[in-house]
Amino acid sequence: MRIVLVHPAGSNWMPGKKDVTPTANRMAPLGLLSIAACLEKAGHQVFVHDCLGPKARPGNKANARIILDYHPDMVGFSATTSGFLDGYELATMIKGARPQIKTVFGGVHISSLGASILENYGNIDFLCPGEGEGTLGELASGKDVHRIDGLIWKDHGQPVTNPPRSQIPDLDALPFPSYEKLEGFPKGYNLPLFSYILSPGATMVTSRGCPYQCSFCDRSVFKQGYRYNSAEYIYEHMRYLRTRFRVRHINIYDDLFTANRRRIRELCELLISRPLGMQFNCAVRVGHADDDLLQMLKDAGCLQVSLGIETGDPQQMTIFKEGVGLQEVRDTVSRIQAKDLRAKGLFMMGLPGDTEASILRTGDFAISLGLDDMNMSKFTPFPGAPVWSTIFDSGTLDNDWRKMNCLNFVFIPKGIESRERLEALYNRFVKRFYTDPDWRKKFRKRLWQHKKSLWHLFVHLPTFLAAKRSFEPAEDD
C-alpha cells in the first residue's frame, strides 16, 4: 500500500501575526516517523509530508497537491488540537479530488475526543487513538476493521469504537524513527537558539508516559504508566543519529527522562566508556535530582537540564506541583549549576487561580533563581487533561481549537481582569527575564560558544525582530 503520513501546519503562533515558531525551533515529527518506520518494515511504501518542514509550501492547496502527487491509497494525519482543523481541511481537499483515498487521523486531539470527531467531520474514515504503530499497521495490511483493536470507524455512517489496544510492552522492539523521510534532515530542523553548542541537532523521545499526573497535562495518547527504552537502545539510537546524519546534539523530549535511575546510570556509563562526540539536553524533576545523578549526566555529555517549575507562588505551587516547595526548586537549580550544567526553568502563566499578585511573585522568583534559560507557556486547557472537567468554573475559555497551542491565552482565570491584561503581564515577564543584568552578564560570558546560533539569528534576523516586537510591553507598570 502507498501511504502518506502528514504533519499539518496548524496554527502555531498568534492570530494576525507571522508564524515564527519553525524558525525558532523546528522539531521533527517523531510520532509520524516512528509509524513510518513500522509501516515500511511491514512492506508498505511510505512517504512523510511535514507541512512545517524547512521546504514546506504555504497554504493547504499547495500541500494537498503535493500529497496527491504521491498517489496514495491512504493518508494519515497526526493532529494536535491547534493542528486538527488544518489537517481536516487537507483531508477534505484530498477526498474532494479522490474520494477512494482512505483518511486516518491520530494524535492527542483524537485520543482525547474519540468517536465524536467522526460524527462531526465526515471526510475522516478512521480514527486511531493512542499509540498508532500497531493500529495503523493492521489497517494498512487489510485486516477486518471489526478485529482491529484501538480503531474507531464508521458502519453505515455511525461511529464504531473497537476495544482499546494494549500498549506496546517493549519499546525496544520498535525500529528507529525514519528520519530519512524528511528531505535534507537534519538541516532545517533547528533546536532552540543558544540551547546547544555542537551542531547539527536532532530530537529524541526515549520513553512514553509519566509516573506523575499533573492536572494540566493531557495523557490521552499514552494513558497511565511509564515505559521506556533500555540504555543500550538509546545508545544505539544516538549512535545511529551520529553516524548516519552527523548529529552532534540531541534534545531529549521525554516528560521525565530520569524517572528510572538504573537506565540513566547504564546509559551514562555507555556514553562515558564509548563516547560519541555528542551533547544532549534532558529534563529532571525538582526534588529528584541528587548530586550523583547530576554528575553522571554531566560526565556523559549533558549540557542543559529543564525543570518543570510552573509557578513561583506558594499557594499555586501546592496545587500544581504537589510535594514540591519553592526552597526545593531553589536548591535543585543551585545544585544543577554547581555541576556546571545549565538550568532551564519551565513556567506556565494563566493557570486556574492565578492573579496579578501570583504572576508577579512568579516573575520575582524566576529572576531570583539565576536560571540559565526559561520558557514561559501560556496555560492552555486541553480536552484530555484532568483540569478540563472544572475549567469552566475557574474562568472564561475561548474554545477555539486553532488558538490552543500554548502561544495564545484562550483561558482567562477569574483573578485576571482581561486577556489584554494577561498579555501585558506575560510580555513584561519575558522582557524582564531577558533584560535582567545578571542573566545578560552570564549569557555574554558564554556567547563565544554559540557561533551556530548567532549565524542562525543573523540569517533570520527580520523574523526574530518581528517576534521580539510581540513581547514589547503593552503598558508600563
Digit-by-digit pLDDT tens for the chain (477 residues) are 999 999 998 866 566 666 667 777 889 999 999 999 999 999 999 999 999 898 888 889 999 999 999 999 999 999 888 889 999 999 999 999 999 999 999 998 898 888 999 999 999 999 999 899 999 999 999 999 999 999 999 998 899 999 999 999 999 999 999 999 998 899 989 899 999 999 999 999 999 887 766 656 655 555 667 889 999 999 999 999 999 999 999 999 998 898 889 999 999 999 999 999 999 999 998 878 899 999 999 999 999 999 999 999 999 998 888 778 899 999 999 999 999 999 999 999 999 999 999 999 999 999 999 999 999 999 988 876 777 778 888 899 998 888 888 888 999 999 899 999 999 999 999 999 999 999 999 999 999 999 999 988 888 888 777 766 665 554 444
Domain 2-161 superfamily per CATH: Cobalamin-binding domain (3.40.50.280)
Q: Is the dihedral of CA 289, 292, 297, 303 positive or negative?
A: positive
* Closest C-alpha among 134, 99, 175, 136 to residue 1: 136
Q: Cα-flanking dihedrals φ and ψ of residue 353, to 5°?
A: 95, -10
CB atoms inside a 10 Å sphere around CB 224: 10
Query: What is residue 476's predicted lDDT score, i.e. its pLDDT?
Result: 46
The alpha carbon of 306 is separated from its chain's Cα centroid by a whole number of angstroms, namely 14
Q: Label the pairing between strands 207-209 and 152-155.
A: unpaired
443 and 342 in contact (C-beta within 8 Å)? Answer: no
* 3-state SS assignment for residue 465: helix
Angle at 185 between CA 184 and CA 189, to 5 degrees: 115
For residue 303 the three cell numbers come to 549540557
For residue 41 the three cell numbers come to 518494515
125 and 233 in contact (C-beta within 8 Å)? Answer: no
CA-CA distance, 343 to 364, in Å (whole number)?
A: 17
Domain 191-469 superfamily per CATH: tm_1862 like domain (3.80.30.20)
Give me the residue spans of the domains in the chain: 2-161, 191-469
268 and 233 in contact (C-beta within 8 Å)? Answer: no
Bridge partners (DSSP) of residue 415 are 355
Query: What is residue 337's predicted lDDT score, i.e. its pLDDT?
Result: 97
Question: Which residue in the block uniquely carries the three cell numbers 476493521?
Answer: 145
